[in-house]
Structure 1
Amino acid sequence: MNDSVARTLIQILSSSITSLLMFLLFYKLYKPKYHNKTVYIITFFFSIICIVLVNQFFIKMNIAYFNSIFLFVYACILNSLMFKEKTKKTFIYNAIYIVVSVFANVSSVLLCSVITGNDFAAISEDIKCVLMFNNFYCMFMVIVWVIFISVIIKGHLEAIKFRQLLLIGLFVLFALFVEYNFTIRIDNISDVITDLFILIGFLIVSIYIVYVTGEIARAYKDKYEYELMRNQSQLQLEHYIEMNNRYEKSRVVMHDIKKHLEVLRSLKNLDSEQAKEYSDVIEKEVDVLFEGFQCSNKILSVIMSQKISEAENLSIKVETKIEDILFEFVNDLDLTAIFANLWDNAIEACQKIKVEDRFIRILIGRVNDFYVIYFENSFNGYVKKRFDNIISTKESHKGVGLSIIKASAEKYSGTFNVLNDDTVFKVEILLPIE
């Protein structure tokens, strides 16, 4: 009787962990169909009961290997009923989950066999071995799941250091050692329950350790991307400073030329109508060089002038409604990061659609105690997202334009919002005036 109760408790724990991992995985990967979380809580407990009963049935019928097939079919049905996602994607992820589960089962059995010296039949008959096997299986599944969610899916794998992986490995070995030594000393049902609580404690600590590792990896990656942002913005700023210097020098030269034209007009021997017309034409050509966007902030003037010209050369219709704002509290590096990347993203998006549909609209002004920067542009409607965050559509995944803009806005306690429909992409930045 005690063995029967212990096996049931072990099975319930194992099935609960399996169901929980499956549900959390689906929540991370797919969009729920229903907003009421109670529906998912009820479904979760129903899944535990269903998995336990079916697993017990397969064991009694001596066809335990059917359990994996059942889990796969059940997961596919659950996806279609509870989540919004394409069947192909859910099929692939469910298959991966089942493969990992089978691998965890086999690995746990082999590990138990190596430790105890028993074969599979003996392991399944000995309650201590059954408990040891389920402990190994649960720990393996939890650690793999947390690594998959916290590190691989979020794209932080490359930022993990070797010492962090070593720490996780050492902790797992320590947990297995403690579990093994406690399991072989089990004499009654109370020992089984105690061992299950120890297992739960190790699982919680394992989740925390792997989660912290993922956060550390994310911090390393954020730091790396921030350095890329600063370097890119610094190069852009240097470029625009150089352009502004050249522009100022050209203004001096053009000013001198206009003086010379005035002298030419005053010369008696050129005092003819034709000479005046000629000098007027030259003066108009010189004035053209001074045309372009002008505001109190010189760096912004250069950026806007260059980008407007670049857009118009690509047959992009540009509409602007801009107040003369100095942006006095924003340093030149951050101002360059914001506007250069807004322009680059908008121009790149317009280049991917038909010429007649290309446009960029810009609004810059003051509303109450905020500076408002608003860009909208036509685009092809394709937005690539990962966990509700827009990411680069470049194959190299090195485009960090929106990340640069967001980081620069948040530096001044500002807000950064992105909206889009099928044809228009919009970015709005609010900077509180200091």
Structure 2
Amino acid sequence: MGFFSKKIDKQIATYQHELIETHYREVDNMYRQIRGWRHDYRNHIQTMKAYAATGDWEAISKYLDLLDEDLTTVDTVIKTGNAMTDAILNSKISLAKSKGIKVVADAHIPVKLKMSEIDLCCIIGNLFDNAIEASVKLPEENRLIRVYMDMKNTQLYISFTNFTAEKKLTKKGNLFSTTKGEGHGFGLVRIDTIVERLEGYISRNSEDGAFTTEILLPQV
């Protein structure tokens, strides 16, 4: 292996490590919010007991509405059936929403997958980061990411679609041209490397201002 190839491999490995650390920070932040809400649970019960003791049912009703609204901010948005997928998707959905991006997700994943959690983390994380990066360039009303994940026979099917500022991107080989930095390029290469190693299939399509990536990964 030449010097250049070793340098590329080292840069990809470094990018992968940084990407995974970012995912886990996002997940940790989400669960910190959940733990905080649970910590306050006893105080919420005591407050409602005090209202009940005085028969102030209107106050109880209003308090329950506030709790319901608060819980919505930390509740799991997507429940796929696979813990790691839930963690990655929900952390990225939360990030997208904080940037004014609407996310429509439909995901159903077996509890156990043949592929490693690290591979899954890299693929989903990169796909979501790329979609978010493209979406924030659009007016907020046009920002939308569609995610679909399910089993097709013995293969895991992953589809990401987002709108872009360009009507049609220019394809170079198996990749599309980008104005992002080299980290983005390594992210795309990393996805392709994982898909190839797992003997899967990947397709990218840019048409009418929408960019779609589809991936099939064997699970037997």
TM range (shorter): 0.7 to 0.9
> Which of 56, 59, 64 in structure 2 is aligned with 1:272?
56
Which residue does 2:38 correspond to in 1?
255
CA distance in 1: counterparts of 2:65 and 2:141, whole angstroms: 34
CA distance in 2: counterparts of 1:269 and 1:256, whole angstroms: 23
Which residue does 1:364 correspond to in 2?
149
1:361 to partner: Cα distance = 1.6
Which residue does 2:67 correspond to in 1?
283
Structure 2 runs not aligned, ≥5 long: none
Amino acid at match of 1:237: I
CA distance in 2: counterparts of 1:397 and 1:241, whole angstroms: 22
> Which of 16, 37, 41 in structure 2 is aligned with 1:233?
16
CA distance in 1: counterparts of 2:115 and 2:145, whole angstroms: 24
Which residue does 1:320 correspond to in 2?
105
Structure 1 residues 394 and 222: alpha-carbon distance in aligned structure 2, compared to 1, 3 A threshold? farther
- For residues 291-302 of structure 1, the aligned pairs below 5 Å read 291-302=76-87
- For residues 379-418 of structure 1, the aligned pairs below 5 Å read 379=164, 380-386=166-172, 388-390=173-175, 392-394=177-179, 396-400=181-185, 401-418=187-204
**Structure 1 residue matching 2:162: 3-state secondary structure:** strand
**Structure 2 residue matching 1:277: 3-state secondary structure:** helix
> Which of 312, 331, 334 in structure 1 is aligned with 2:119?
334
Whether the aligned pair in 2 keeps the contact of 1:334 and 1:408 (CA below 8 Å) is yes
Which residue does 1:429 correspond to in 2?
215
Whether the aligned pair in 2 keeps the contact of 1:321 and 1:363 (CA below 8 Å) is yes
Structure 1 residues 405 and 366: alpha-carbon distance in aligned structure 2, compared to 1, 3 A threshold? same
Choose 1 or 2 for highest CA Rg.
1
Deviations 1:62-88 (A, max 9, x none): xxxxxxxxxxxxxxxxxxxxxxxxxxx
Report whether the alignment pairs 1:376 with 2:174: no
- For residues 52-63 of structure 1, the aligned pairs below 5 Å read none
CA distance in 1: counterparts of 2:182 and 2:48, whole angstroms: 60
Whether the aligned pair in 2 keeps the contact of 1:414 and 1:432 (CA below 8 Å) is yes
Structure 1 residues 327 and 406: alpha-carbon distance in aligned structure 2, compared to 1, 3 A threshold? farther
CA distance in 1: counterparts of 2:26 and 2:136, whole angstroms: 25
Structure 1 residues 271 and 228: alpha-carbon distance in aligned structure 2, compared to 1, 3 A threshold? farther
1:374 to partner: Cα distance = 0.9
Report whether the alignment pairs 1:345 with 2:138: no
Amino acid at match of 1:273: W
Bigger relative contact order, structure 1 or 2, given CA contacts below 8 A and separation 6+?
2
1:415 to partner: Cα distance = 1.6
CA distance in 2: counterparts of 1:300 and 1:347, whole angstroms: 18
Q: TM-score, normalised by structure 2?
A: 0.81
1:365 to partner: Cα distance = 0.3
Structure 1 residues 354 and 404: alpha-carbon distance in aligned structure 2, compared to 1, 3 A threshold? same
Q: TM-score, normalised by structure 1?
A: 0.44
Structure 1 residues 256 and 309: alpha-carbon distance in aligned structure 2, compared to 1, 3 A threshold? closer
Whether the aligned pair in 2 keeps the contact of 1:241 and 1:299 (CA below 8 Å) is no
**Structure 1 residue matching 2:90: 3-state secondary structure:** helix
Between the two proteins, the alignment pairs up a number of residues equal to: 216
Structure 1 residues 396 and 262: alpha-carbon distance in aligned structure 2, compared to 1, 3 A threshold? closer
CA distance in 1: counterparts of 2:135 and 2:175, whole angstroms: 18
Structure 1 residues 235 and 259: alpha-carbon distance in aligned structure 2, compared to 1, 3 A threshold? same
Amino acid at match of 1:259: R
Whether the aligned pair in 1 keeps the contact of 2:157 and 2:215 (CA below 8 Å) is yes
Structure 1 runs not aligned, ≥5 long: 1-215
Q: What's the % identity of the aligned pairs?
A: 23
Amino acid at match of 1:341: N
Amino acid at match of 2:206: N
**Structure 2 residue matching 1:344: 3-state secondary structure:** helix
Structure with more of its chain in helix, by fraction: 1
1:282 to partner: Cα distance = 3.8
1:405 to partner: Cα distance = 1.0
CA distance in 1: counterparts of 2:154 and 2:119, whole angstroms: 20
CA distance in 1: counterparts of 2:141 and 2:152, whole angstroms: 33
- For residues 105-124 of structure 1, the aligned pairs below 5 Å read none
Q: Which piece of structure 1 moves more, 360-369 or 274-283?
A: 274-283
Deviations 1:318-337 (A, max 9, x none): 22221143353222321121
Structure with more of its chain in strand, by fraction: 2
Amino acid at match of 1:287: L
Amino acid at match of 2:64: D
Whether the aligned pair in 2 keeps the contact of 1:418 and 1:428 (CA below 8 Å) is yes
Deviations 1:87-109 (A, max 9, x none): xxxxxxxxxxxxxxxxxxxxxxx
Amino acid at match of 1:283: L
- For residues 19-168 of structure 1, the aligned pairs below 5 Å read none
